[in-house]
Structure 1
């Protein structure tokens, strides 16, 4: 009888632990652990090596490791590759650190915003868009289309959130398929 109760308790604990591990999606082939901060998780994603290099070049590592909370729309490497030739290299030059910082902070919003929260705000608005500002001061908008959520930059370019609600110790990451470009 004791073995059965112990086995049942162990299975229940395993199920809870498995559900907790399954709660956060894998990103770039790596597990994203909720107890890690945004930078600690991003460096493990094979899909975010360009973003990590840019964050380092801009000197934003310490900021994105702070308490936050932050919501980060994290462009994948392919999004950076889709920019005009030479753009990334130019942004990574030390003399362009200010512009790089502006571009990167146009992907960060204060607070911990789930995709459900953003979609709900967009659906509730008169024009179908939730309008908000990045920490850079640049305007962003979100639109829910069916099951998809899109983030628009100031130029009207739309990026689809491909992986949402990646919980971090200091916020949340939503993976996007474009680089949001401020004006």
Structure 2
């Protein structure tokens, strides 16, 4: 089984995510034994962010790293765990809200498009929106 980075790279729908993870220096973390849970925004999710904003984040590595680590939980958190949680602490240190509804799961304002993609060092949940920690401004 592939790790988180290999699985996301092979999927083909996370090109922007893989680019920014590499730029932020988080590849090593996501290739480590973990386990980690990654809320992975698709390329379409990143496309919602204005190009200039994304470009400025690529130049502000501490802020980029903060935003990306807000998408990662320590541990293997699958949907059966999400059922029991209302929030979870991220690697960044902030909390993400977890909401289960008839349509599936939401992490803050992001809809989970596909859940429980298992890797050898964790699990990936595909989301439709980039998560931004409360105290981070991305203008």
Fold in common (TM above 0.5): yes
Matched, 1:173 2:139: no
1:134 maps to 90
Unaligned runs of 5+ in 1: 1-34, 123-129, 153-157
Q: Which of 129, 146, 149 matches 2:105?
A: 149
Q: Which of 79, 100, 111 matches 2:64?
A: 100
* Alpha-carbon distance between aligned partners in 2 of 1:145 and 1:86, rounded to the nearest angstrom: 34
Which structure: greater strand fraction?
2
1:47 maps to 13
1:79 maps to 45
The structural deviation recorded for 1:92 is 1.2
The structural deviation recorded for 1:147 is 4.1
- Give the match's secondary structure for 1:113: coil
- Give the match's secondary structure for 1:166: strand
* Alpha-carbon distance between aligned partners in 1 of 2:66 and 2:82, rounded to the nearest angstrom: 23
- Give the match's secondary structure for 1:47: coil
Q: Which of 77, 85, 91 matches 1:113?
A: 77
Tell me the TM-score normalized by structure 2.
0.92
Q: Which has the larger radius of gyration?
A: 1
The structural deviation recorded for 1:45 is 2.0
Which structure: greater helix fraction?
1
Tell me the TM-score normalized by structure 1.
0.71
How well do the aligned residues superpose, as a CA RMSD in angstroms? 1.0
* Alpha-carbon distance between aligned partners in 1 of 2:70 and 2:89, rounded to the nearest angstrom: 8
Matches within 5 A, 1:51-62: 51-62=17-28
- Larger RCO, structures 1/2 (Cα 8 Å, 6+ apart): 2
